Structure 1
């Protein structure tokens, strides 16, 4: 029981919150102490105002660094975690925490300028800082419990972290005053903080258990047998029939451009839903959404054949088919490589990409539809005007 407890995430949270609370408590007090000796060109400026200006300027620069620097490293560490290095988003920020505590301790011991902490803050940010650390903790916790218990477990982690923070900050104020006259205020607190992060590092590397109770299979999650594969292919073939019915019904009430848009929306919605399927029934729902996906191409062929004379119809439609084949030479390898690259972190990404590109294709189709409708309206108006103003001949 004790070993199981030590291998869980809770001891890490306890140690990290203690170390972080001790560091930030000492950090604020050291900045305040250094502000007493701050000087500015304006000699008439009151001492209190000068101190506040030093503190606010220092915090502005320091926290701007912490806001910008962690973004790329946090994303990179997250990708490493999803590829199997689950502890990376936790271990790397712990190094950043440790060097911040150690640097501030050296600032106090050797009376270094506070601007040294800008460098320490940059290193902390490049390690991912709290952004990467907390995401890593949440990820390890999530994959270590079942889906049904996940929300409760994550909330329990948040509660524990908050409670430890309350206790750590209450102790921090008293610990800061423990020092010798020669070393300076905060040395004991910063030494304890650095030691907490060392313990954190040891716990993560040696003790923390990395479980994957809810690990998602990254390749062909439906895992169909021959019978199920036949049913799935049959569902795909039914789309030919539903698309034909769609054209028959829709052409009675809307224009051909609108019919094309209906088919595009059907394809995009089905592809987007396909991105997240994990069971057979979800596949059939996606296919249901795809029921009109075959409408666009026959309708486009119909529109093209109406725009050219009969003598050029064959070459026009053949050119369209050749263009589709040439396009396939580009998008099939590209989509295959994208699928292979994203297989480990989001197997359905290729479907989401297809849906996105399809939605974007609706923009030029809509523009062409609006212009066609406007041209048709103008032609109708001209015909009515001509009939109204042409001379009537008597018989």
Structure 2
């Protein structure tokens, strides 16, 4: 009889194990984030009316061709340049320290502190809607989020708990399940965001009140659940630690056979490492994975940052509900990428799966550059169905090359690196968009397609 037998009414799982699940925190946080992202875009758009953008326009003497819509687009773009800089740079002051504290004292530190900053930033948007404050107050709200560690500290903490609560042979599946939950919650939030924003549309000062209040409620739930319910799981011994170093290294660039529950570890021990004597050193593998992740993330971040501006102007000119649906379409890649890993992992090597994802995103971004109708937008999004596989697979592979006691620091360094490069990308892409939106509005998407295919080079050198 195990400890499960002591639970009243024969609970199927020990209560302590249920409390170690990080999934409720991930789901509620992402639900709040998807509502916030849509609300932020729509609130900023409403604040920058045709006549309100004169102080933010990149061109003080607009040409006759400049329409009010173009001036509004520049104003929104300039707002997001500053906003993304604040969101991306402020975590550099605290995220690494939170990761170090989590490794040294308690695993929940980075999660709880980042969720506190997350909640404060959502409250900032709610107060802006309630009190009709200027949009510049949202910069301060973003700074509070960043000083709490931002997404870098939060997601590194989630990855650390997810890795600790799973054995090495199940870790890849565990981490991509967390990504799947992230995507499902974001999909639901985005689908509802447009409808929620339209509530109380008759009151200008209250436009978006229901949407922002729901976002704050979800963020508050995530914080209090982390503080009062969530428990740190016991570190599970990895059966593969007894394997020779060369098997561990080659396993990183081999197939994800660990996703197959029917395959025993004994087969891995008895089997011979592929390409004996030609396995690259661990540092080389990590460096190549790191470079590929950076280049690919540049392409993804640039596309994601420009896309909201792209759908608001001609030829699409979406309304609030269509904006929510479009954001929801972006979250479907979490589902399709999860299914792709489960299928491809049984047939292809890790490097092949990463390249499939990069080709998927690069092809979709190229189609997006020539979108003229709404249905074409969704076709391009459908081509990107495996876009999440590269980063998820790279992160899972790198987690197998580091010690459990260093998860917090290593994961936060990786996340901060991606965030920092993303900040630079956001600024550059927004400026490129402003300069090219009248000539060829799809320039940024074409550039992202090029970067996505370029990221294949480091992966192909394995």
TM-score of the pair, normalised by structure 2: 0.45
Q: What is the alpha-carbon distance in structure 2 between the residues aligned to residue 47 and residue 76 of structure 1?
A: 45
Give the 5 Å matches for 1:299-338: none
Partner of 2:154: 133
Conserved? CA contact 1:83–1:345, under 8 Å: no
SS at match of 2:186: helix
RMSD: 2.8
Partner of 1:186: 208
Give the 5 Å matches for 1:40-79: 40=55, 41-42=60-61, 46-79=67-100
What per-residue deviation string (whole Å, max 9, x for no partner) do you get for residues 184-228 of structure 1?
211111111111111111111111120122379xxxx99xxxxxx
Give the 5 Å matches for 1:24-173: 24-36=37-49, 37-40=52-55, 41-42=60-61, 46-173=67-194
Q: What is the alpha-carbon distance in structure 1 between the residues aligned to residue 96 and residue 237 of structure 2?
A: 20
Is 1:196 the counterpart of 2:211? The answer is: no
Question: Structure with the greater relative contact order (CA < 8 A, sep ≥ 6): 1 or 2?
Answer: 2
Q: What is the alpha-carbon distance in structure 2 between the residues aligned to residue 205 and residue 67 of structure 1?
A: 26
Q: What is the alpha-carbon distance in structure 1 between the residues aligned to residue 197 and residue 150 of structure 2?
A: 24
What per-residue deviation string (whole Å, max 9, x for no partner) do you get for residues 341-362 of structure 1?
xxx759xxxxxxxxxxxxxxxx
Conserved? CA contact 2:94–2:149, under 8 Å: yes
What per-residue deviation string (whole Å, max 9, x for no partner) do you get for residues 311-332 of structure 1?
xxxxxxxxxxxxxxxxxxxxxx
CA apart distance, 1:90: 0.7
Q: Which runs of 5+ in 1 are unaligned?
A: 223-271, 273-343, 347-395
CA apart distance, 1:153: 0.8
Is 1:14 the counterpart of 2:27? The answer is: yes
Q: What is the alpha-carbon distance in structure 1 between the residues aligned to residue 181 and residue 30 of structure 2?
A: 10
Partner of 1:280: none
TM-score of the pair, normalised by structure 1: 0.53
Conserved? CA contact 1:143–1:215, under 8 Å: no
Partner of 1:177: 198
- Structure with greater Cα Rg: 1
Partner of 1:309: none
SS at match of 1:8: coil
Quick one: structure 1 residues 98 and 215, their matched pair in 2 at CA, closer, same or farther if it must change by over 3 Å? Answer: farther
Q: Which runs of 5+ in 2 are unaligned?
A: 1-11, 243-282, 284-404, 408-462
How many residues in Structure 1 have an aligned counterpart in Structure 2? 225
Quick one: structure 1 residues 345 and 49, their matched pair in 2 at CA, closer, same or farther if it must change by over 3 Å? Answer: closer
